[in-house]
Amino acid sequence: MSRDNSYIGVMARKNEIMKRAVGIDYDAYCLGELSFDYERMMEETGYALDEIRRIQAGTGVGNTPLIELKNITRLVRKVSAPGYGAKIYIKDEACNPSGSFKARRAAVSVYHAEKMGYKGVIAATSGNYGAAVASQAAMRGLKCIIVQEVYDSTGKGQPEIIEKGRKCEAYGAEVMQLTVGPELFYVFLMLLEETGYFNASLYTPYAIAGIETLGYEIARQVRQREGKGPEAVIITHAGGGNLTGTARGLIKAGCSNTRIIGASVNLQGLHMASDRDFNRKSFTTGHTGFGVPFATWPDRTDVPRNAARPLRYMDRYVTVTQGEVFFMTEVLARLEGLERGPAGNTSLAAAFSVAREMKEDEVLVVQETEYTGAGKHPTAQLSFAAEQGVEIMTGDPSEDLPGTRIVIPEHPGQIRARDMDMDKLRKSYIINCLEHCRAVELTEREMEFLAEETKTSVEFVRQCLNNR
C-alpha cells in the first residue's frame, strides 16, 4: 500500500516520523497536560559533560581560545563614566572546524547518529549549523542532507545563506535549496521518512548538551586569567540553544551567579516567513524574529519537546540594531585584528553598551564568534540590502528601521543596547503554554513547572494567570 505523500498526509505522520528519526520517546517525560521532566530528559537522553568533551575532542571541536579585547575595552572606557567599563573577553568559536560554535552541537548529534547505526543525517537550517553537521558527517563517514530556505519568489537568494550552502557542499553534503514558505518542514519530513536518516535537529538534548562545554570552558578560562568567574556572559539569542547550553555549562562549572544576558538584532516589523521581508533583513539568525517567538514558545520546533529553554536561564534580554552590529564588526577587525562574521558580533555590539554599565574590575565575556566569508561579509550584506531598496546611511542608530533603513553609527558612544521587558516575555510564555494545554485547571506541579520555566516563582505564575 503506497503512502499518502500529500502535505496533509505527511503532516499526519510527523510524530511517528520524528520518533524514528530521533530515537527519543518524549512521552516518557510528560508529567501532565502541560509539564514535563526537563532535567530527567536532559540526563537520560544526553551525555555527561566529560564524555561530550571527549567526543568533541575526537573531531577537533572545542577548547577554543578566550581572547582579551584590550583595545575595545580601552575604547569602552573612553566613552564610560570614571571607574566604569568592564574588561571584555571574546570566545573565538570561529576556531572550530566548521567556523562556529554550532560544531559543538553537531559533534554530539552526529556521534550519536553513528553510534545508533544511522547511515546519514539530515538538518533543516539555512545557517552555520548546516555547515557544522556536514563537517562532522564528513569526519565520521556518514551521508548528509541539508535543507535550506534560500530564495524569495523571484529567485533572489540571501548572500549569507548562499555562502553557507556553498560551505555545506564543500563538505560533501547534498543541499536542497527552497523558496521561503511552509514547504520546508514538509520536505524535511519527506526526506527523513524516505532515507531513514537521523534528524540532527538543533533542539534535541544531544545538540543542547554539546554547547554545555562552551560555558564550562568560559568559566575555566576566565578563572585561570582573572582568579574568578565572569560577572556576566552575553550570548547571541535566536532559537535558544546557544543561551541554554552555555548557561548550563557555566552552572556546572560553579558559575551560578554569573548573569546570563541574551542579545538579538532588532528586526521588529519584519515577518520571517514573508516573501517580501525575506530579503529585506541583513541577518538570518540572532535576531528578534527568532529570539522572541522561541523564548515565548520554545516547542515550535521539529521535535515534540525543545531542549532549548532560554527563559529558564536568561537574566536579561537586550537588542541592538543591524547598523550597530556592522559597526562593531569593523571595530573588531580594525582594533583587534579579528575579522569575524557579522551575526556572531551581535553579542559583541551589545557587550560594548553593557560593559559601560559595569565597573572596571568586572569581567564581561562575549560568548562566541563565527567565521566570515564572501556572502557573510558586511560589504556583501550591505550591497544586497541596497539592491532591495533598503537605505544605507550613517547617523543615529536609533533611527534604524528594519527592512527600510540601516543606520551605521558615527561614533561608538552611540551604540546602545535596548532592554526587552523580561516579565512581559515570561507572561507571554505562560499564556502560550495555557493555549496549548487542554487542562482546565493547573496542578501545583504544573505551576511549579511554569515557575522553573520562567525563572520566577509560583506566586508570579499565579499573578499572570489571574491577570490574563
* pLDDT score of 127: 82
Q: What angle, 0 to 180 degrees and rounded to 10, lies between the N-to-C axes of helices 49-58 and 205-226? A: 90
Task: Write down which residue in 199, 231, 266 finishes a domain.
Answer: 199
Residue 84 corresponds to which cell in the numbers above?
566604569
Q: What is the pLDDT of residue 19?
A: 87
Residue 415 and residue 450 share a domain: no
Of 199, 217, 233, the last residue of a domain is: 199
Give the tens place of pLDDT for each residue, 171-208: 999 999 998 877 888 999 999 999 999 999 999 999 99
Q: Is 87 found in the same domain as 129?
A: no
**pLDDT attached to residue 207:** 95
C-alpha cell, 307 = 531542549
Per-residue pLDDT of the chain (468 residues; tens, 9 = 90+): 578 889 899 989 988 898 899 999 999 999 988 899 999 999 998 799 999 999 999 999 999 999 999 999 999 999 999 999 999 999 999 999 999 999 999 999 999 999 999 999 999 987 899 999 999 999 999 999 999 999 999 999 989 899 999 999 999 999 999 988 778 889 999 999 999 999 999 999 999 999 999 999 999 999 999 999 999 999 999 999 999 999 999 999 999 999 999 999 999 998 888 888 989 999 988 999 999 999 999 998 888 899 999 999 999 999 999 999 999 999 999 999 999 998 889 999 999 999 999 999 999 999 999 999 888 889 999 999 999 999 999 999 999 999 999 999 999 999 999 999 999 999 999 999 988 876 667 888 999 999 999 999 999 999 998 887
**pLDDT at 274 (0 to 100):** 87
Instruction: Let me know if residue 48 belongs to a domain.
Output: yes
Q: What is the pLDDT of residue 301?
A: 86
259 sits in the region (left: phi over 0; alpha: psi -120 to 50; else beta) called: beta
Q: Are residues 225 and 248 in the same domain?
A: yes
The predicted pLDDT at position 126 comes to 76
Indicate whether 115 and 78 sit together in one domain: no
Domain containing 450: what range?
430-467
Let me know how many helices (H) and strands (E) the chain has, helices first. Answer: 18, 13
Burial of 155 (0-12, 13-18, 19+ CB in 10 A): exposed
Q: Which of 163, 181, 199 is the last residue of a domain?
A: 199
Query: Using CA atoms, how far apart are residues 403 and 207, in angstroms rounded to an integer?
Result: 32
Residue ranges of alpha helices (H) inside 181-303 are 183-195, 205-226, 241-252, 288-296
Question: Cα separations (Å) of 211 from 87, 109, 125, 241, 259?
Answer: 24, 11, 17, 8, 17
Query: pLDDT digits over 267-293, tens only?
Result: 999 888 888 898 999 998 899 999 999
pLDDT digits (tens, 9 = 90+) for 450-459: 999 999 999 9
Give yes or no for a contact between 339 and 352, defined as CB atoms under 8 angstroms apart.
Answer: no
1 lies in a domain? no
Question: With a threshold of 0.85, does the pTM exceed it?
Answer: yes
CATH number, domain with residue 310? 3.40.50.1100
Same domain assignment for residues 191 and 278: no
Based on the domain organization, do 124 and 272 belong to the same domain?
no
Q: Are residues 223 and 360 located together in one domain of the fold?
A: yes
Residue 440 is predicted with a pLDDT of 65
Are residues 345 and 451 part of one domain? no
Across all residues in the chain, what is the average pLDDT?
94
* 381 assigned to some structural domain: yes
Give how many domains the chain has, as a whole number: 3
Q: Judge if 104 and 130 occupy the same domain.
A: yes
- Indicate whether 158 belongs to any domain: yes
At residue 181, the pLDDT reads 78
Report DSSP letters for 119-130, one per residue: SEEEEE-SSHHH
In a domain, 2, yes or no: no
Looking at the structure, do residues 376 and 411 belong to the same domain, yes or no?
Answer: yes
Asked if residue 398 and residue 434 are part of one domain, the reply reads no
Residue 371 covered by a domain: yes
Angle between helices 102-115 and 241-252 (to 10 degrees): 90
Q: What grid cell was written down for 231?
A: 560577572
424 inside domain: no
Say yes or no: 378 and 266 in one domain. yes
Please give the pLDDT value at position 224.
98
Q: Say if 91 falls within a structural domain.
A: yes
